[in-house]
């Protein structure tokens, strides 16, 4: 831990540790009506271990004289040579009944900030209704804001001085401006504090653990730090390294939407073995790595058994077909619902979500009506065992989680409060805990079933979005883009024409046809790529349509979305060949594209919009989009000595600096991927 200095003797107000020259003050918790965190007594290193992905963990113990028996552990995780640190506080069982009580909100981190330090907030969970997607927002704080004292959400705060940049962040999530933690600027300090739900009055301290926090520091500017931070999120933060791999994903859902909205039939009308096997064959031809069967494969929620009416031989024929092609099997779940007749609900109705004492039921995608199940209850442990069984015994290695809202339970029967707490306290504690429970489920399943990937659908607002889930899995970012309802269609339009109000063909989304428009909206993941690797924002593109439509899908997909969905069985041989050729080229450079820090010229919708994704070896892609026909030029950064094989450009010149001077001729709404590989031939 070359950047770390531990303090071995603390008095009130002293630092707990120093990270890369930056002192971090000891935390504060209100326990039994008093403040724990004053004059902590270091107990030294309690344990250390090497993590699965090569990271390292150290655990240090602390006590306080007026809290006999209570031990706080400081857990530190680093990666060799990395300027980023993760830390967490947790409390051991002291054999006493210490409890959190009402009072001053918990203080987790605090560091001095002088007048020469500029502050920048990076938000990750702004839901933009115009594109119907979460988007990042970088907001510099003015000198006036800082001088007056302010609060902001983050979850990332940057502190910049000439020649030095540092970072403070937290691993939780919420749909901004909702918040559970926040940064405070005051009295020469930048502090990170609890806002709501982090603890509840009467909650026992024994066994409590905070969310994880992050510290980072580099001798350089903001981009230097963000390059290291992006690498940290890609390679270091998660022990589940499979979730970072640039696999190509296919999901059956869009065809199910077409069956309903084009054909007027149930969503599940063609969810059966024969159809899935047909799609697997085409997916293999296209080079798909992970095949995900969306909703409808199960008989009822909660039990999560295969519907033998649709799949009379279970999933074994599908698993065998996929295994023969070297493909992975994925399944859709909503982990927060259980059917009324399911075994889990019948055996444990006390685990059901309730609000004001009421539990509600509704059908789940044309299956039996179900109720919500609380992730901050014993149900979470039950669901872990279900998923471990499914992954081990059925050969499932990809779990798609959908429909998980952040709110919904104020029951006094669970782990987020009891009758002594107010309904508001229980509801806030649930909404804080549910995301941490999701992370725990993923970590436990992947510990017991290494290589399983989880994605969390955030295609709607009100989700647990931030850095938290990215420590364990990835997001599914965009469905079909904006909704008609987001564009103020009047109520009387709905009465006159249902198609006008909910979409031209009965779809609530607006962009579900092949072409340039849908990919333009759906490539929101690329907006994150300078902070969070875009490979962590799965988005599905349509594989069908003319060459222009396919080119737009391919060009958007290679920026990190990496997913397709649609009616694979209806693709023509020409469509399969055209898209398959592009996907095959992408797979040759996919690891390089994933690693590469982005360089972007223009923005979505203008001519040109150019994304340069070339790694340190000069390998990757340069992607062009244009709304208007024309010849477009891009000069890359200087690359290492070649030779290079360049495919897709209409002309390419190597400049004396080593940069590539590329031109492409594009038609209206055209898109082009220029592949750059090492070697003399493409």
> Over 80: is that where the pLDDT of 500 sits?
no
> Over 50: is that where the pLDDT of 496 sits?
no
For residue 425, tell me if it sits in a domain: no
pLDDT of residue 497: 44
Which percentage of the chain shows pLDDT scores above 70?
96
| Weakest mean pLDDT among 108-117, 270-279, 643-652 | 108-117
Average pLDDT over residues 198-211: 97
pLDDT of residue 667: 97
CATH (domain of 180): 2.70.98
For residue 192, tell me if it sits in a domain: yes
Q: Which of 596, 621, 642 is the last residue of a domain?
A: 596
> Over 60: is that where the pLDDT of 451 sits?
yes
> Over 80: is that where the pLDDT of 568 sits?
yes
In terms of phi and psi (left: phi > 0; alpha: psi -120 to 50; beta: otherwise), the region of 21 is left
pLDDT of residue 501: 46
Tally the domains of the chain: 3
Do 266 and 221 belong together in one domain? no
Average pLDDT over residues 1-26: 83
> Over 50: is that where the pLDDT of 522 sits?
yes
pLDDT of residue 486: 80
Do 647 and 671 belong together in one domain? yes
For residue 462, tell me if it sits in a domain: yes
> Over 60: is that where the pLDDT of 493 sits?
no
Do 561 and 492 belong together in one domain? yes
Do 114 and 258 belong together in one domain? no
Average pLDDT over residues 237-255: 96
Position with higher pLDDT, 279 vs 484: 279
**Distance between CA 313 and CA 22 in Å, rounded?**
61
Do 261 and 396 belong together in one domain? yes
For residue 369, tell me if it sits in a domain: no
Is 669 in contact with 651 (CB distance < 8 Å)? Answer: no
pLDDT of residue 506: 67
For residue 571, tell me if it sits in a domain: yes
Do 220 and 251 belong together in one domain? no
pLDDT in tens, 657-669: 999 999 999 999 9
For residue 51, tell me if it sits in a domain: yes
Round the average pLDDT of the chain to a whole number and report it: 94
Q: Which of 236, 264, 284 is the last residue of a domain?
A: 236
Q: SS3 for 247-259, per residue?
A: CCEEECHHHHHHH
For residue 616, tell me if it sits in a domain: yes
Average pLDDT over residues 452-457: 98
**Distance between CA 141 and CA 123 in Å, rounded?**
13
Q: What is the DSSP string of 313-326?
A: TTTHHHHHHHHHHT
**Distance between CA 410 and CA 107 in Å, rounded?**
25
Give, for 120, the enclosing helix (H) or strand (E).
strand 118-128
Band of the pLDDT at 492, cuts 50, 70, 90? Answer: low
**Distance between CA 549 and CA 515 in Å, rounded?**
4
**Distance between CA 131 and CA 113 in Å, rounded?**
37
Do 71 and 149 belong together in one domain? yes
Q: What is the DSSP string of 411-429?
A: -TTSSS--TTS-HHHHHHH
> Over 80: is that where the pLDDT of 505 sits?
no
pLDDT of residue 13: 66
Residues contacting residue 107 through CB under 8 Å, at least 6 positions apart:
25, 27, 28, 37, 191, 192, 193, 194
pLDDT of residue 96: 79
Do 538 and 630 belong together in one domain? no
Structure tokens at 517: 């428009």
Band of the pLDDT at 14, cuts 50, 70, 90? Answer: confident
Q: Which domain holds residue 505?
A: 241-336+376-409+432-596
pLDDT in tens, 43-97: 999 999 999 889 999 999 999 999 999 999 999 999 998 999 999 999 997 887 8
CATH (domain of 458): 3.20.20.70
**Distance between CA 249 and CA 234 in Å, rounded?**
18
Residues contacting residue 495 through CB under 8 Å, at least 6 positions apart:
none
Average pLDDT over residues 304-314: 96
pLDDT in tens, 16-51: 999 888 899 999 999 999 999 998 999 999 999 999
Question: What is this structure's pTM?
Answer: 0.96
Do 589 and 634 belong together in one domain? no
Q: Which of 205, 236, 267 is the last residue of a domain?
A: 236
CATH (domain of 654): 2.60.40
Residue located via tokens 């940064």: 183
Alpha carbon dihedral 124, 129, 130, 132, in 10-degree steps, equals 70
> Over 90: is that where the pLDDT of 252 sits?
yes
For residue 550, tell me if it sits in a domain: yes
Q: State the pairing for strand pair 164-170/133-140.
A: unpaired
Q: Is 494 helix (H, G, I), strand (E, B) or coil?
A: helix
Q: SS3 for 596-662, per residue?
A: CCCEEECCCCCCCEEEEEECCCCCEEEEEEECCCEEEEEECCCCCCCCEEEECCCEEEECCCCCEEE
Do 592 and 632 belong together in one domain? no
Strands (E), 465-546: 474-478, 537-541
Do 582 and 608 belong together in one domain? no
Do 52 and 136 belong together in one domain? yes
Q: Among the residues of 477-605, which ranges form H helices?
A: 491-496, 498-502, 517-522, 525-528, 547-556, 573-595
> Over 60: is that where the pLDDT of 462 sits?
yes
**Distance between CA 194 and CA 203 in Å, rounded?**
15
Band of the pLDDT at 681, cuts 50, 70, 90? Answer: low
């Amino acid at each position: 831990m070359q950047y770390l200095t531990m303090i071995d003797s603390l008095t009130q107000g002293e630092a707990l540790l120093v990270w890369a020259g930056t002192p971090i003050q000891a935390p504060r918790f209100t326990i039994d009506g008093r403040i724990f965190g004053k004059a902590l007594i270091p107990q030294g290193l309690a344990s250390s271990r090497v993590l699965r992905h090569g990271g390292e963990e150290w655990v240090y113990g602390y006590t306080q004289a007026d809290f006999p028996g209570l031990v706080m552990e400081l857990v530190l995780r680093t990666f060799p040579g990395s300027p980023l640190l993760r830390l967490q506080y947790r409390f051991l069982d002291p054999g006493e009944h210490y409890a959190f009580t009402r009072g001053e909100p918990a203080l987790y981190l605090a560091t001095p900030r002088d007048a020469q330090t500029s502050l920048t907030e990076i938000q990750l969970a702004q839901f933009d209704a115009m594109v119907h997607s979460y988007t990042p927002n970088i907001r510099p704080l003015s000198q006036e804001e800082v001088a007056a004292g302010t609060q902001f959400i983050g979850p990332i705060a940057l502190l910049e001085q000439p020649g030095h940049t540092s970072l403070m962040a937290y691993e939780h999530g919420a749909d901004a401006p909702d918040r559970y933690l926040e940064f405070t600027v005051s009295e020469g300090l930048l502090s990170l504090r609890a806002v709501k739900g982090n603890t509840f009055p009467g909650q026992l301290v024994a066994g409590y653990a905070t969310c994880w926090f992050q510290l980072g520091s580099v001798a350089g500017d903001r981009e230097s730090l963000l390059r290291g931070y992006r690498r940290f999120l890609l390679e270091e933060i998660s022990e589940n390294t499979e979730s970072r791999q640039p696999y190509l994903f296919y999901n059956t859902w869009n065809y199910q939407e077409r069956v309903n909205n084009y054909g007027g039939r149930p969503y599940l009308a063609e969810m059966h073995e024969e159809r899935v096997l047909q799609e697997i064959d085409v997916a293999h031809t296209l080079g798909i790595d992970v095949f995900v069967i969306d909703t409808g494969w199960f008989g009822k929620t909660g039990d999560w058994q295969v519907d033998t009416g649709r799949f009379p031989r279970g999933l074994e024929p599908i698993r065998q077909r996929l295994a023969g092609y070297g493909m992975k099997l994925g399944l859709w779940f909503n982990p927060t619902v259980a059917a009324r007749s399911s075994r889990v609900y019948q055996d444990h109705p006390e685990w059901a979500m309730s609000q004001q004492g009421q539990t509600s039921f509704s059908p789940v995608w044309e299956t039996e009506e179900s109720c919500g199940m609380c992730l901050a209850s014993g149900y979470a442990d039950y669901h872990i065992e279900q998923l471990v069984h499914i992954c081990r015994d059925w050969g499932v290695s990809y779990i798609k989680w959908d429909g998980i809202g952040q709110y919904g339970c104020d029951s006094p029967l669970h782990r987020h409060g009891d009758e002594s707490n107010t309904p508001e306290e229980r509801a806030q504690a649930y909404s804080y805990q549910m995301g941490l429970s999701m992370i725990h489920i993923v970590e436990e399943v992947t510990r017991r079933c290494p290589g399983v990937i989880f994605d969390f659908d955030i295609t709607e607002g009100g989700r647990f979005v931030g850095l938290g889930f990215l420590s364990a899995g990835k997001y599914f970012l965009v469905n079909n883009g904006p909704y008609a309802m987001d564009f103020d269609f009047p109520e009387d339009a709905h009465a006159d024409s249902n198609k006008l109000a909910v979409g031209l063909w009965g779809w609530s989304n607006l962009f579900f046809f092949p072409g340039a428009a849908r990919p333009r909206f759906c490539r929101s993941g690329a907006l994150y790529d300078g902070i969070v690797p875009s490979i962590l924002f799965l988005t599905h593109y349509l594989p069908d349509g003319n060459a222009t439509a396919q080119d737009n899908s391919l060009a958007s997909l290679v920026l990190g979305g990496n997913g397709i969905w649609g009616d694979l069985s209806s693709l023509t041989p020409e469509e399969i060949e055209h898209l398959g050729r592009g996907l095959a080229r992408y797979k040759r450079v996919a690891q390089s594209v994933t690693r590469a820090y982005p360089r972007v010229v223009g923005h979505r919708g203008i001519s040109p919009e150019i994304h340069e994704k070339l790694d340190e070896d000069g390998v990757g892609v340069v992607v062009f989009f244009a709304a208007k026909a024309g010849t477009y030029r891009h000069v890359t950064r200087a690359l290492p000595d070649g030779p290079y094989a360049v495919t897709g450009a209409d002309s390419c010149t190597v400049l004396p600096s080593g940069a590539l001077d590329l031109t492409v001729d594009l038609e209206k709404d055209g898109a082009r991927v220029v592949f750059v590989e090492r070697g003399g031939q493409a």
